[in-house]
Amino acid sequence: MLKTMFTTIFTTMFKTMLTTGLKTGLKTLFAASRFTTHTFSLRRHRLLQALVAVLVLVEATGCATQNVKSTTFTPIVTEEAPVVEEELLDIGIGIFQPGLDDIPRNREELTFSDVRMAETYFTSYQLAQALQNSGNWGVVRVVPGKLESSDLAITGTILQSDGETMRLQVHVEDSTGKTWIDKEYEEVVSKYSYDPRMRRAEDAFQGLFNKIANDLLIYKQRNVSTQEAMNIRTVSKLQFARDFAPQVFDDYIEENRNGVLEVKRLPAENDPIMSRIENIRERDYLYVDALQDYYSNFVRSMETPYTEFRRMSYDEVMKMDRLQADARRNMIMGVAAIIGGIAATQSNNAAAYYSSPVIIASGGWLIKDAFDKGDERQMHIEALAELGNSLEMEIAPQTIELEERTITLNGSVEAQYDQWREILADIYASETGEAPSSDL
Domain count of the chain? Answer: 3
The per-residue pLDDT string of the chain (440 residues; one tens digit each, 9 = 90 and over) reads 444 544 454 455 545 544 445 445 545 544 554 444 444 454 555 555 555 554 544 444 444 444 555 556 789 999 888 888 888 999 999 999 999 887 777 666 667 777 888 889 899 999 999 999 999 999 999 998 888 889 999 999 999 988 889 999 999 999 999 999 999 999 998 877 777 776 667 888 999 999 999 999 999 999 999 999 999 999 999 999 999 999 899 999 999 999 999 999 999 988 999 999 999 999 999 999 988 988 898 888 777 777 777 887 777 777 766 665 555 555 555 555 555 554 555 555 554 444 445 444 555 544 445 445 445 545 544 544 454 454 444 566 777 777 677 888 888 788 888 899 999 988 888 887 776 565 66
Residue 280 lies in a domain: no
What would the DSSP string read from start to end of 62-84? HHTT----BS--PPP---SSPPP
Q: Residue 117 sits in which domain range?
A: 85-266
pTM: 0.71
Q: For residue 325, what are the CA distances in angstroms to 105, 322, 359?
A: 15, 5, 22
User: 168 and 243: one domain?
Assistant: yes
Percent of the chain's residues with pLDDT above 90: 35
DSSP state of 303: H
CA atoms within 13 A on the CB side of 425: 18
User: 418 and 369: one domain?
Assistant: no
Strand-pair category, 91-94 with 140-143: parallel
Q: How far apart are CA 248 and CA 429, in angstroms?
A: 13
Residue 343 lies in a domain: yes
> What pLDDT digit, counting tens, does each position of 228-282 carry?
999 999 999 999 999 999 989 999 999 999 999 999 999 998 899 999 999 999 9
User: 337 and 239: one domain?
Assistant: no
User: 104 and 169: one domain?
Assistant: yes
User: 8 and 42: one domain?
Assistant: yes
User: 50 and 112: one domain?
Assistant: no
Q: Give the helix/strand (H/E) hosting 168.
A: strand 165-174
User: 122 and 254: one domain?
Assistant: yes
User: 234 and 152: one domain?
Assistant: yes
User: 96 and 161: one domain?
Assistant: yes
- Rounded to the nearest 5 degrees, what angle is found at the Cα of 26, between the Cα atoms of 16 and 63? 95
